[in-house]
Structures are given as structure tokens and as C-alpha cells.
Amino acid sequence: MAYEMQFQPVLNYAPDLIDGTVTTLVLASQSIALGVILGGLGAIGRTEGPSWLSIAISTYVEVFRNTPLLVQLFLVFFALPMIGLQVPVMVAAVLAMALNLGAYATEIIRAGIVAIPKAQIEAGLSLGLSRFQIIRHIIFIPALMIIYPALTSQLTLTLLGTSIASAISAAELSSAASVIESKTFRSLETYITIALIYISLTFMFRFLYWIIGKILFHRKVVTSKNVVEDPLLTGAGA
């Protein structure tokens, strides 16, 4: 018996889909903002800080990069209340995702900082550039340009990683999918719809990164990653 696809029952739940999408976007953007800040601090601490700090940060990085996001999510969500910290689902989700992204971002941003040769800073000094000008034109922008492909693909992975948050019942897109699926019994159509939404979100974010890169660098932007250069920089998947 042939199966007939019917998307109408799924589309009847459009408000749930929209709510889920909005929650996913909120979750992703908060995690990305926090995670990148964390990564920036981590990278500076690791390259400039005292050795105890650098060891502490690299331990954090290795621990979070070598365990699954889902387990980190469970630890934050189930274990924090045990030590008396009762956090709402969304906070736990953002916290876990930001810590996860922070670990990857630390390594990525550190690679960018290390890649700027000291001689370039000295060249800037000898041209009479101010401290701020040196940080902006010689360190920040070129370093960001080097790491941009790796960083943006990691951010995309964070966006997709938010789907895992449905496991601790955060009401984002994937959990909306489960709800709709259990109401309509149209699993295939539900998950195809959800997949399409995620794909459009991803392309939207990639476009956004491209625009930001265009504004920051004033030249050709590469947003696809070149994994060969450093395989460990980006982590694929959950």
C-alpha cells in the first residue's frame, strides 16, 4: 500500500511551529553570544594568563570537547539542583550550550591570536599607530578573518545543537515536533517539516555571518571551513 503524504494536519499546528522556532532562535542566539564571550575570555586567559589559569582553561576545554553535549546538558539540568541551584529549563539549556560552545570557541580564537606574528605589531608601533588602532587593525580584524570559517561553522553546529535541548523538555523546535507528531500521528511529514525549518534557519544564519564578514573585512569572505588546516578546531554534531 502506497503512503500518501499529508502535510495539512502538521501545518494546522503552525502556531506551535512558530513558537518552537522562536524558542530555538532565542536559545541559539543566547548560547552563541555567551559562548563566544566565554571563548574570547578563555583564549585570552590561555595565551596571556599565568600558567595555573592556562592549565585550568585547557582542562575545561578538553573536558567539554571530549564529552557529548547531551551528557553535559543532563549534568547541568539534573545535577545543579542537587547542589541547591534550581534553574529553569531554558537557563540550564543556555548554560550547557554556552559552556560547550565556549570550549570550542576558546581553541578557535586562541588559534587566531597565535597566528598574528609579533613583528606585525612591532610594524604597527613603528608606523605610529595608537594602541587601540593596533588592537583593531592588526590583531582583532586579521585574527577574526583567519578564524572566521571555523568559528561560523561552529556557531552553525551550536544552532543545530539546540535540538538536543528537547531532551530536558525545553520547548524548542524539536520538542514542538514531538508534540505535533503525537497529536497528528504524521511522523514523516512532521519531521520533514521540522528539517526544512532547521535547514532554512541554518542558511539564514550563514547568510548573516556572510553579511557580518563583508562589513568587518571589506573583502572576500570565506564561510565554509577548511578542515584540513586544523581538524580539531571544529566539532561536528552534538
Nearer to other proteins, 110 or 225 (CB): 225
Nearer to other proteins, 11 or 188 (CB): 188
Q: Least distance to other proteins from the beta carbon of 123, Å?
A: 24
Largest CA distance in the chain: 78
Nearer to other proteins, 43 or 159 (CB): 159
What residues contact 58, with CB distance under 8 A and at least 6 apart? 46
Q: Is-contact 27 69, C-beta < 8 A?
A: no
Q: Least distance to other proteins from the beta carbon of 130, Å?
A: 36
**The three cell numbers locating residue 164:** 538536543
Chain centroid to Cα 165, Å, comes to 13
**The three cell numbers locating residue 110:** 586562541
Nearer to other proteins, 25 or 192 (CB): 192
Nearer to other proteins, 14 or 195 (CB): 195
Task: Tell me the C-alpha to C-alpha distance, in Å, between residue 101 and each of 68, 133, 162, 232, 237.
Answer: 12, 29, 11, 14, 12
Query: Mutual orientation of helices 89-114 and 14-48 as an angle, nearest 10°?
Result: 40
Nearer to other proteins, 74 or 140 (CB): 74
Q: Least distance to other proteins from the beta carbon of 167, Å?
A: 6
Nearer to other proteins, 63 or 127 (CB): 63
CA–CA gap between residue 226 and residue 223 (Å, rounded): 9
Q: Least distance to other proteins from the beta carbon of 172, Å?
A: 10
How many other β-carbons are positioned within 10 Å of the β-carbon of residue 114? 13
CA–CA gap between residue 178 and residue 184 (Å, rounded): 10
- Binding residues (CB under 8 A) for other proteins: these are 1, 3, 62-63, 65-72, 74-75, 78-79, 82-83, 156, 160-164, 166-167, 174, 177, 181, 186-188, 191-192, 194-195, 198-199, 202-203, 225-228, 230-232, 235-238
CA–CA gap between residue 214 and residue 220 (Å, rounded): 7
Q: Least distance to other proteins from the beta carbon of 144, Å?
A: 21
Q: Least distance to other proteins from the beta carbon of 178, Å?
A: 8
Q: Least distance to other proteins from the beta carbon of 67, Å?
A: 4
